[in-house]
Chain A
């Protein structure tokens, strides 16, 4: 139970760091771009 709470706090902090670094915007840009080479289309 205690281990779970500690892990939750650690991961919540990681989310906070990611938000501060605006990683979600980078994810949005990446996920919206269609990677043709990833689909074997080149």
Chain B
């Protein structure tokens, strides 16, 4: 009952405001002591203004020390069980950037979600867990476009000492960032759908989380409007709690027969 009211309330809220507020809150340099807590969304703690630790960075860091990050797994697990991937849709600054760039009016490219989950689980397993344990280095961070945008570029801009360290590896990371930024204009949330390891962790809880979508199949007229507005390109009436669903509630807002609650 409480959750259905919450879902109904969410579908009335303008997500844009919450996303902007979260991006500012996570990067407002006001709660530096909170860096002992993993951020519930992908937000690089190397950002000069970051308030929280990046959970993916923390998992890799513990992997390099051959330790289990109990605290971080516990926090992500509690968030996942309660809200699933809602954090991706409402709180993630990098997701917000992707939503904004996709608003640019150009001919869009449709990419199938067929292998998206497996690619993300592969990134999580290989780059975030196995490779750091073996190489004792945080390899996902070395490739992460969110880290380049929120950490690398600001530090190069504000610190002349850091600027002298710019080399081919930095430009390699910038190239990855540019590829994703261009991709964000043409494809719906390419990083979230195909790469994000934090989204992969939250995906595991989408089927059991307290916040979940319900489609009334008797009401649904299968008009596909939900798929058209879905930032993750899901046909919601086929799988309302798909591992890709970020609980953005855009589908519920546009459903002409109010079949999604």
Contact = CB atoms under 8 A, between A and B. Distances in A.
B71 A27 contact: yes
Interface in A1-34: 3-4, 7-8, 10-19, 21, 23-28, 30-32, 34
Interface in B189-217: 205, 208-210
A41 B71 contact: no
B115 interface: no
Q: Is the interface on chain A under 10, 10 to 19, 20 to 34, or 35 or more residues?
A: 20 to 34
Most buried by A among B36, B54, B72, B82: B36
SS class of chain A's interface: helix, strand, loop or mixed? helix
Interface of B: 32-33, 35-38, 45-46, 50, 52-54, 57-58, 61-62, 69-75, 77-78, 81-82, 137-138, 141-142, 147-148, 151-152, 155-156, 162, 165-167, 169-174, 205, 208-210
Contact of A28 (B53, B77, B169): B53
A24 B36 contact: yes
A8 to B, nearest CB: 5
B138 A38 contact: yes
Contacts of B45: 31-32
B71 A24 contact: yes
Contact of B152 (A11, A31, A41): A41
Q: Which of A21, A26, A27 has the most CB of B within 10 A?
A: A27
A27 B72 contact: yes
A37 to B, nearest CB: 7
A17 B75 CA distance: 12
